[in-house]
A and B are shown apart, each in its own frame.
Chain A
Amino acid sequence: MIAIVDYGVGNLFSLLCSLRALGAQAVVTGDAAQIEAAQRVILPGVGAFGDARDKLRRTGLDEVVVCQAQAGKPLLGICLGMQLLLDEGLEFGAHPGLGLIPGRVLPMQGYVPAGLKIPQIGWNALRFGAQPHPMFRHLRDGAHMYFVHSYHAAECPDVIADCEYGRPIAAAVARGNVWGCQFHPEKSGAAGLMVLRAFCEEDL
């Protein structure tokens, strides 16, 4: 069973359907016991960093997710869910993240060259890092994924793929059993499903 953590942000219908389309058993839940009983955990998220962090804290699910990750359970953060894995987010003030992966979340404004539209909305090509990562075992370098974001992961040693948007933007991060992707695998067609498949079958 895969637990999709429901803490009151975003639309989880597509994510649930995409996992079911792969034949995985998945459930959207805000129940700590159900998350603890699951074999894998997905932390989704859209919206602002601070707001999402507050909701995680208020529901107490931040500690549940961190405990599960530290115990070695596979965890995948998606979009804002990936950003929350890092140490700190600087969106409308500084907010501490979950600290599972080193790095900070910074605005793309002022980082990417002027004239490029922010948010980045659309399909961009992945550039894999030097070491092949199991997240991409079913994909070729250059596979396109769907991105929607205005902030990006910076100062992170665990980037396993980036994309070019005037400057390199972290597209995916991983440290052991903790994975994160800035793009939306549940909205990236067949290629995106292959990322979810890799997460579902990975024995970490």
Chain B
Amino acid sequence: MITKRIIPCLDVRDGQVVKGRQFEDIREVASPVDLARRYSEEGADELVFYDITASFEGRKLFTDVLRRTAEQVFIPLTVGGGIETVDDFERVLACGADKVSVNSGAIKNPELISQAARRYGSQCVVLSCDVKRVGEGYHIFSKGGRVDTGMDAIEWMRRGEGLGAGELVVNSIDTDGVKQGFDLPLLKLVTGAVDIPVIASGGAGSAQHFIDLFRQIPGVDAGLAASVFHYGELSIPGLKRMLAEAGINVRMAYESGQPEV
């Protein structure tokens, strides 16, 4: 059977990796190309690159980083950040992205999802959602988690699936950066509501958090995290070993080094 995926996420600004705590207080950590290569060699199942620059120069640096990464890293690459049109899809796919994640751009124009799915296939379109608990429910936030759209999160995700999104990234603003574990109540709700693969994001601080995620919410396909990997608090081979010992089906790290002949 297919394995549960571990996905490091690299937020890139002006060609450098950064990580925010609850999206604020951004600090830089490393060269994205080097980090991507290291994660791939260690057994990461996929990589996500988010472009958090807005300037033209920053965007140019980002596509350079993306192209150089795709030249040397041979696992699936997902790219997001500032994707507003089908032309934006074209721009990053031409630099070696395999999937493109849309967030605020799809909130502004939901047809972007169906246009891109028709042109590149659903497997290429990832709907990324920043979600925060509001009262009794959950709302979708836009603009990097700063603006409450007022939209019900589950309704929006179902709509995205109907429009042709092939995967869903669920990022909990409430748990992001706090390292107290994934937002299990939210993820349980989401996996009960959609049939496409669900990638959990926000809150990973230890291997136990990933074990809890995959044990308690079997419908979750992948766990995404950033700082816990960047700062070396958790190594990908170590995490995979612990997941395997906990009985969770993962791709083991021995294959990601030099395979045995």
Tell me the count of chain A residues lying within 8 A, CB to CB, of chain B: 37
Asked if A140 is at the interface (CB within 8 A of a chain B CB), the reply is yes
Which of B3, B41, B98, B259 touches A187 (beta carbons < 8 Å)? B98
In contact, A146 and B76 (Cβ under 8 angstroms): yes
Q: Identify the stretch in A36-44, A61-69, A121-129, A151-159 within 8 Å (CB) of chain B at 4 or more residues.
A: A121-129
Complex interface bits, B74-115 against A, C-beta within 8 A gives 1, otherwise 0: 111000000000000000011110100000000000000000
| Given known A14-B70, A21-B74, A122-B221, contact A191–B93 (CB-CB < 8 A) | no
Q: Identify the stretch in B15-23, B50-58, B249-257 within 8 Å (CB) of chain A at 4 or more residues.
A: B249-257
Q: Which residue of B lies closest to A118 (CB)?
A: B195
Query: Taking the nearest CB of chain B, how far is it from the CB of A45, in angstroms?
Result: 12
Residues of B contacting A123 with CB < 8 Å? 2-3, 5, 45, 251
Asked if A1 is at the interface (CB within 8 A of a chain B CB), the reply is no
Residues of B contacting A189 with CB < 8 Å? 40, 43, 74-75, 255-256
Asked if B1 is at the interface (CB within 8 A of a chain A CB), the reply is yes
In contact, A119 and B74 (Cβ under 8 angstroms): no
Which of B1, B72, B196, B258 touches A190 (beta carbons < 8 Å)? B258
In contact, B96 and A13 (Cβ under 8 angstroms): yes
Residues of B contacting A59 with CB < 8 Å? none
Among A123, A125, A148, A191, the most chain B Cβ lie within 10 Å of the Cβ of A123
Residues of B contacting A193 with CB < 8 Å? 74
Other than the given A146-B75, A189-B43, A190-B258, 4 more pairs (CB < 8 A) read A117-B196, A122-B5, A143-B255, A189-B40
Q: Tell me the number of A-to-B contacts counted with CB atoms below 8 Å.
A: 99
Residues of B contacting A186 with CB < 8 Å? 74
**CA distance in complex: A192, B72 (Å):** 13
Point out residues on A near B: beta carbons under 8 Å: 11, 13-14, 17-18, 21, 46-47, 117, 119-125, 137-140, 143-144, 146-148, 164-166, 186-194
| Given known A119-B123, A121-B197, A122-B2, contact A187–B70 (CB-CB < 8 A) | no
What are 8 pairs between A and B in contact, CB < 8 Å?
A14-B70, A17-B96, A21-B71, A21-B74, A122-B221, A140-B260, A144-B3, A188-B75
Asked if B181 is at the interface (CB within 8 A of a chain A CB), the reply is no
**CA distance in complex: A27, B75 (Å):** 21
Residues of B contacting A140 with CB < 8 Å? 259-260
